[in-house]
């Protein structure tokens, strides 16, 4: 994903998410996942709208097994919002943008 999203991996998860000074929205997804592809433009919009206030990243669960396992990811797409190194909100499945923005706005 181009733009303001960060490509996350097991290798950079600690630095980009856990040690982040701002909240992080992590999109756990997979290339083969239809709903993930439908959610991708929404994730891009959120990354653009919240630039500098909330970090938005995407993690491919097929290429990175450790992080999804650590956070109990059983289906994709799954979105988790992290704040101060802790998961504070989790969404599973294709959800409307306004539900995500509502959760993000509560952190700001």
Helix (H, G, I), strand (E, B) or coil at 91: strand
Active-site residues: which are they? 33, 36
Handedness of CA 96, 101, 102, 103 (dihedral sign): positive
- C-alpha span between 63 and 58 (Å, rounded): 12
């Amino acid at each position: 994903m181009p733009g303001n999203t960060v490509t996350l991996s097991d290798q950079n998860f600690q630095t980009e998410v856990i040690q982040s000074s701002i909240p992080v929205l992590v999109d756990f997804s997979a290339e083969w996942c239809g709903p993930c592809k439908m959610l991708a433009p929404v994730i891009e919009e959120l990354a653009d709208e919240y630039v500098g206030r909330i970090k938005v990243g995407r993690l491919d669960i097929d290429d990175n097994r450790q992080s999804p396992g650590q956070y109990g990811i059983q289906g994709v797409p799954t979105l988790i919002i992290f704040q101060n190194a802790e998961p504070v909100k989790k969404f599973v499945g294709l959800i409307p943008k306004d539900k995500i923005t509502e959760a993000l706005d509560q952190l700001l």
